């Protein structure tokens, strides 16, 4: 296992941060980008690896890899349209740890030869696919790291829905990287829940005033959920405050029952909160509680994506307290969504104790059942951050 593969195999969503001065689709992005300074910054804020564009069409060169190598120890991915052994040797000699192989440009025989040659040179590979056929090819080639690109290289258009379908269908015994189209923490979380081990982010970072701060934002956890939303103005307030997840209670008998799942901005994912049997509510995720003892809901829930469990929601008993709640959550394994009695006054202490994947608050943010107090929402999100 090489340094690149090893870094991406670490538990949790990993980030590959890119250095890219321009793009054929977007034009100039950051013409004065300094690969040494950016690589050092990306490493400092927690990037698992740094991607360097070496093709002149992107304003890059092999000197950019050398500069990044001189400033940072983080694994480096050389990105270009590589098709020969000489390309791979150039990457190794410049200090790269891994190279990009784009299946759209390579037949199976060439791709297999380059994979073997990369191994001989001590390089890892990121084998990039754009559709189901290329994903199947990557599987047959035994590519250890598969990149699934949301961008159509012919039209340059982004299709994140198609990318997420590919991520969800990728072999689980490979490292899967979601490439392109990641602009918010929610986008990264959506790729993570679909099965991605890492996200590769380029244009979003290059457009940001502070690329390092933007990368830290995209990778930061916990996600913040505001639940019990019933009004469009409250959804907007939660989004403006920086919440990532918008929860809509669809259970009969709840004082916070919403008529439907409301539209949410691209920076958020919608969550339908249901009890008993789930149905198609048109949400990105479903938070499903058991019906228990004739009550509105049981205690804990599961978070579902396309019917598959992706996280556990650890909550308080319905209408009751539990002094051991945080200790129980702290001992839980896997992705934990921490819920139950959270607000601006206690969420930070809960996060520091439990280290959850997400936090979830509802009644503590209200002026009345189903009506959010916008100042409380802002304070809660700020405290959770």
Cβ-based neighbour number of residue 324 at 10 Å: 8
* Strand pairing category for 175-179 and 336-339: unpaired
- Provide the H-helix boundaries in the chain: 3-8, 35-44, 62-71, 85-94, 108-120, 132-140, 160-169, 185-194, 203-207, 211-219, 232-241, 325-331, 347-354, 374-384
Catalytic residue, candidates 43, 51, 134, 179: 179
214 among known catalytic residues:
no
Query: Does residue 192 have an active-site annotation?
Result: no
Q: How far apart are CA 325 and CA 344, in angstroms?
A: 18
Distance CA 185, CA 248 (A): 20
**Rounded Cα–Cα distance for residues 377 and 243 (Å):** 9
| Number of neighbouring beta carbons within 10 Å of residue 285 | 22
Q: Using alpha carbons, select from 179, 59, 168, 93 the residue that is nearest to residue 129.
A: 179
- Catalytic residue, chosen from 23, 43, 51, 79, is 79
Q: 20 catalytic, yes or no? A: yes
Residue 13 DSSP one-character state: -
Residue 138 and residue 129: Cα distance in Å, rounded? 7
Active site residue 70: no
Out of 23, 149, 197, 270, which one is annotated catalytic? 149
Active-site residue 180, yes or no? Answer: yes
Catalytic entry in 23, 51, 180, 362: 180
DSSP string over 234-272 = HHHHHHHHT-SEEEEE--TT-TTB-SSPPP--TT-EEEE
Q: Known catalytic residue: 179?
A: yes
State the angle between helix axes of 35-44 and 211-219 in degrees (0 to 180), rounded to the nearest 10. Answer: 30
SS3 186: helix
Is 149 annotated in the active site?
yes
Backbone φ and ψ of 364, nearest 5°:
-70, -5
Q: How far apart are CA 281 and CA 278, in angstroms?
A: 8
| Structural contact between residues 64 and 19, judged by C-beta atoms closer than 8 angstroms | yes
Q: Which among 20, 214, 225, 372 is annotated as catalytic? A: 20
The residues assigned a catalytic role are 18, 20, 79, 128, 149, 179-180
């Amino acid at each position: 296992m090489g340094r690149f593969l090893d870094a991406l195999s670490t538990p949790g969503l990993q980030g590959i941060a890119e250095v890219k001065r321009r793009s054929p689709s977007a034009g100039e992005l950051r013409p004065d980008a300094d690969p040494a300074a950016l690589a050092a910054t990306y490493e400092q804020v927690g990037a698992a690896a740094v991607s360097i564009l070496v093709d002149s069409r992107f304003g890059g060169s092999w000197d950019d890899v050398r500069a990044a190598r001189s400033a940072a120890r983080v694994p480096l991915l050389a990105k270009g349209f590589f098709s020969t052994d000489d390309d791979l040797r150039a990457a190794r000699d410049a200090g790269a740890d891994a190279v990009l192989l784009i299946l759209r440009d390579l037949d199976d025989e060439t791709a297999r030869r380059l994979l073997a040659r990369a191994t001989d040179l001590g390089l890892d590979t990121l084998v990039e696919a754009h559709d189901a056929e290329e994903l199947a090819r990557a599987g047959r080639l035994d590519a250890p790291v598969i990149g699934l690109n949301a961008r159509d290289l012919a039209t340059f258009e982004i299709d994140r829905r198609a990318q997420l379908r590919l991520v969800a269908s990728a072999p689980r015994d490979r490292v899967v990287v979601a490439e392109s189209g990641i602009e918010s923490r929610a986008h990264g979380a959506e790729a993570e829940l679909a099965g991605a081990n890492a996200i590769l982010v380029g244009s979003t970072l290059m457009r940001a005033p502070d690329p390092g701060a933007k990368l830290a934002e995209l990778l930061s956890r916990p996600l913040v959920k505001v639940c019990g939303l019933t009004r469009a103005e409250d959804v907007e307030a939660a989004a403006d405050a920086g919440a990532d997840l918008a929860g809509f209670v669809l259970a009969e008998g709840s004082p916070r029952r919403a008529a439907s799942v409301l539209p949410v901005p691209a920076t958020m994912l919608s969550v339908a909160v249901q009890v008993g049997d789930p149905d198609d509510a048109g949400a990105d995720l479903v938070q499903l509680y058991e019906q228990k003892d004739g009550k509105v809901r049981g205690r804990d829930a599961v978070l579902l994506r396309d019917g598959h469990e992706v996280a556990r929601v650890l909550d308080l008993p319905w209408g009751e307290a539990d002094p051991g709640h945080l200790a129980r959550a702290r001992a839980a394994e896997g992705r934990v969504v921490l819920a139950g009695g959270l607000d601006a006054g206690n969420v930070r202490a809960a996060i520091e104790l439990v280290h959850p994947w997400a936090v979830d608050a509802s009644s503590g943010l209200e002026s009345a059942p189903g009506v959010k107090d916008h100042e409380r929402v802002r304070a809660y999100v700020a405290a959770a951050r």
